Amino acid sequence: MKVLIDKIKSFHLNIDQKFLGVAILFLWLKSYIVSRFIFDLPLENAIEEFILLINPISSVLILFIGALVIRRKLSRQGIFVLSLLFTFLLYANLVYYRFFNDFITIPVLFQVQNFGDLGGSAKGLMNPWDLLLFVDLFILSFFGRKKGIKSIVVPKLARRFLVVAAAALLVFNVMLAETQRPQLLTRTFDREMLVKYLGVYNYHAYDLFMHSKASAQRAFAESSDIIEVENYVSDGFDEENEFTGIAKDKNVILISMESLQDFVINYEVEGQEVTPFLNQLVKESFYFTNFYQQTGQGKTSDSEFLVDNSLYPLSRGAVFTTNAQNTYKGLPAILNENGYATASFHGNNKSFWNRDLMYKNLGYEFFYDETYFEVSEENSVNYGLKDIPFFEQSIPKLQNLKQPFHAKFITLTNHYPFVLDEEDIMIPTLQTSSGTVNRYVQTVRYFDEALKLFFEQLKETGLYDNSIIILYGDHYGISENHNRAMESVIGKKVTPFEYLKLQKVPFIVHIPGMDGKEMTTVGGQIDVKPTILNLLGIKPGKDIQFGEDLFNENRRDFAVLRDGSFVADYYSYTEGICYQNWDGNPTEDKYCSQLKDLADHELRLSDKVIQGDLIRFLDEFEE
């Protein structure tokens, strides 16, 4: 022991080792600063503040010291590359968080083919001050060259001490986090919580582990795994009502309304309606006023997955990318089996969100991507073809489809960062503290005009009378980062309860010749597939779907969001708190807790179906 103490006393850092220490210190500090002051992580006490301070250091130490253990020495360039990789990961999360109020997962990082199509969205999320994140890299490079540092060697004893210290610090971090949030590592749907308690880098290590585990689940899944799921979803599966078959053999036109939230319906800016056409359409249609978006990280692709399969998306990544090879019994495939032509229209790259591969698996016969449209600089903005020329150019293609057909239209113009050419602006901008919110109403107004013209064209071509037209908002447009601006829009403080209500998106079922009606049942995108099939009078046969027909009076008033929040008839739940719907006050009612357990169970079963690719086993249980 005396020898060990003497060695520790005699140990002094040389200039090379100080260089390594400074690199580690820089990474630690900027990781803490970003987590503390840019990520909006709720800190409730001094212990959580302390956890946030220490959680970056263990992962940074493990990476650098681990590299030293393997190689025994690190070059100056190696330290620079490792620092750059950590900084890139931190910055990628920063940019992603600014819009999605969420953190990147391994599947999202693998979706590199999407990054080139982000265009103005990614640019709009960047800030000149972001360059400060990379200042330390320039400092390290300058002084490393000036001092002639080539490689860094750390004595074996010091390496061992640092490895033990890093591991002990990680264990201490996790144990301390568990005291604040029991069962932390089982709550993988709550990435904000994982980042707060583990840190960005440890979160990504855990996410990589979970990704590997999910990949293994499919390999080891068995046909008997589907029995539990079938028992859960079977109740009320075939129940009929007065709307069953009311649209039999009619064309189905499904319109995905990009980033459209329900609060814009009947909203005005300086006395001008933001959605004049939709305001009239909801009076002539079945308009569901308590309909919620249920997407995860896959956003638009997740909404498509929900609508086509009546399954929940995953909590990590996009199912369109991570599980495109699965067996599905999608709405297009079912309609195709019943004599429908099936097509999807989208004025963007066919590979975006892996649609070109996923669509085939879902049963789409035709996919009209940007190559089928005349796209120019003048008629496109942001993500692709503007909505007015998109609908206009789609009409001839729609006319050429064999009837009856199922045609899905994915609109684009009302997409972050909500930019328009000057000639397309039809309404004044809002005057809030957020440019995003201010511009949002203008792109919504443009979409509304495009929708009006599309309906007129459907009538002119004769397609209108023989079709039902179903419209749904695909996901939120205004994230939690703009709550302060939204308070002036909705006229009240945006509490967690109010933000949950802002996840409502329009769902409109328009059947020509039928009177409109406001529908108050609580539902979500997962209910669209069974609703459409019931209207057409089509039985899906052996299937797994978690949604229920929205016209069924005996259905549950229940909408589960992908983050584990839910809305029911009397209660709602979000961010760990139950609320009373009638006044928005917190409650500890046991029934709300039971609903929370039900929501978690439903998400777990849906995840089990997707991760295990269980639908491939359905035929084994045919009677």
Q: Do 480 and 501 form a contact (C-beta atoms < 8 A)?
A: no
Phi and psi of 425, rounded to 5°?
A: -80, 125
Q: Give the whole-angstrom CA distance, residue 231 versus residue 207.
A: 31
Q: Give the whole-angstrom CA distance, residue 546 versus residue 562.
A: 13
Tokens found for residue 289: 């006023």
What is the tally of helices (H) and strands (E) in the chain? 23, 21
100: amino acid identity, one letter: F
Q: How far is CA 290 from the centre of its chain?
A: 20
Which DSSP helix (H) or strand (E) runs through 58? Answer: helix 46-71
Q: Residue 5 burial (CB < 10 Å; 0-12/13-18/19+)? A: exposed
What's the angle, vertex CA 406, arms to CA 261 and CA 242, rounded to 5?
Answer: 75
Catalytic residue status for 587:
no
Looking at 87, 300, 411, 443, which residue is catalytic? 300
Q: Give the whole-angstrom CA distance, residue 77 versus residue 70.
A: 16
What's the angle, vertex CA 17, arms to CA 15 and CA 23, rounded to 5?
Answer: 105
DSSP assignment letter at 313? P
156: helix, coil or strand? helix
Phi and psi of 265, rounded to 5°?
A: -65, 125
282: amino acid identity, one letter: V
Residues with catalytic annotation? 300
